[in-house]
Structure 1
Amino acid sequence: MNTNRDEGVIKFKLTLKRAPAPEMNQVIALEKWRALFFKLALIGEYPIDKIGYGNLSSRIGKKTFIITGSQTGHLAHLQAHHYSKVIECDLKKGSVTAEGLIPPSSESLTHYGMYEANPNINYVFHVHHQKLWEMMCNGPFDYISDDVPYGTQAMAEAASQLMGTKTSGIFVMKGHEDGIISYGATPEEAGKIILELYRKLAVRQ
């Protein structure tokens, strides 16, 4: 597998419009799950490289969403200004336009591709866990092949093709080391899928 670690690097063309941060009530549900994932090291920072990993988003419009800011993985708790509002994406051009005080996550294109493909999805959670990733790579789970690099138009297109009409699910990115994405109509749907697999893995060990 091609598992080169280069997370956190924004690979799309970004236009960041300086604007007030999202309202705190818009990020409360995301922050609840992010804080839990941080405690479980499903979101965090690789200590040697000092590169953050993991990101969460919630849909606020047909094609607009709020997402954790780039390189915030080292923070246990985020404030509203650590989130960014993505207002426009173009998969063909590989461009993202966002509003806020901080650049959006490097996986913003992937989140957009999923939201665009399925109107039933309102939350997308991207976490990292080596053993969980290995288990999913070798199990009966939806996946994106190991020749698709993270944060690219190809990744966004591959993720969108997995959506179908499902309201919730989870898949593994074989070419993005440790990377797992869940999605759901509610934050509970997206979050509980990850927790259930995490607990099953804990029982095995």
Structure 2
Amino acid sequence: RYGGYGYGNVSMRIPPYDAPVNHRAFVITGTQTGEVGVLTPLNYTVVTAYSPERNLLVSEGPCKPSSESLTHGSVYDQDPAIRWVIHAHSPEIWRNAAALDLPTTAPDVLYGSPEMAGEVWRLFAETDVRSQGIFVMGGHDDGVVAFGATAEAAAEILIGTLLIATKLKGA
């Protein structure tokens, strides 16, 4: 479906890790960088503050932050130990979310929206997403978000889930 390419975005928390909610700064890939072959520093920006309630992002850098920045910020707000967030597109995981028992945002909530940020808070309050390290974006075809203390941990969750999903009927 994606021609062998992976689209999405990635972010990394930066100190201070004990910053208040909505001020947990992170570096994130810029908007519309999915087709860039090799990313350079010009393809990243720093989000310093965000407010889903006001649909507000404050960033510093050479490009505009990803449209998923509010979602990333809401994940970081759940636990200072979360240092990496990966948003990817995986038809295999997305189609098999129920069979994989993955927490899933409401299907009527659009990606990148303040409502999606609210869905992140709901998932952390009502599901075991914290221990799973991954959730599916029900209103965003193929949208999946994995997170962890390291880039490797988040990627292992994503790839491990993909491996299981590809073995399921209908993947």
Normalising TM by the smaller chain, what interval? 0.7 to 0.9
The RMSD of aligned alpha carbons is 2.1
Equivalent-residue separation in structure 1 for 2:117 and 2:44 (angstroms): 20
Q: Which amino acid aligns with 2:133?
A: G
Match of 1:69 among 20, 25, 30: 30
Task: Say whether the 8 Å CA contact 1:168–1:183 is kept in structure 2.
Answer: no
Q: Percent identity?
A: 34
Does the C-alpha gap of structure 1 residues 200 and 172 become closer, same or farther in structure 2, counting only changes over 3 Å? Answer: same
Structure 1 pair 58/39, CA: closer, same or farther in 2 (3 Å)?
A: farther
Report the CA distance between 1:90 and its aligned residue: 1.5
Query: Structure 2 CA distance, aligned partners of 1:111 and 1:156?
Result: 8
Instruction: Normalising by structure 1, report the TM-score.
Output: 0.71
Aligned to 2:141: 177
Shift of residue 202, structure 1, vs aligned partner: 3.6
SS in 1 for 2:60: strand
Q: Single out whichever of 77-86 and 159-168 deviates more from structure 2.
A: 159-168
The equivalent residue for 1:27 is: none
1:60 to 14, 25, 29: 14
Matched, 1:193 2:157: yes
Pick the aligned partner of 1:89 from 31, 50, 53.
50
Of residues 104, 129, 154 in structure 2, which corresponds to 1:143? 104
Kindly indicate whether the alpha-carbon contact (under 8 Å) linking 2:92 and 2:166 is maintained by their aligned counterparts in 1: no
Aligned-pair distance for 1:201? 3.2
Q: Which residue is 1:28 aligned to?
A: none
* Structure with more of its chain in strand, by fraction: 1
CA contact (8 A) 1:168 1:184 kept: no
Q: How many residue pairs are counted as aligned between the two chains?
A: 158
Q: CA deviation at 1:186?
A: 1.0
Q: How far did residue 168 of structure 1 move?
A: 5.8
**Do the aligned partners of 1:66 and 1:84 also contact (CA within 8 Å) in 2?**
yes
- State the match for 1:51 in structure 2: none
Q: CA deviation at 1:167?
A: 6.3
AA partner of residue 171 (structure 1): F
Q: Which amino acid aligns with 1:118?
A: D
TM-score between the two structures when normalised by the length of structure 2: 0.84
Listed one character per residue, the Cα deviations across residues 97-144 of structure 1 (whole Å, up to 9, x for unaligned) are 100110000000111111112212111100002222101145411110
Name which structure has the greater RCO, CA cutoff 8 Å, separation 6+. Answer: 1
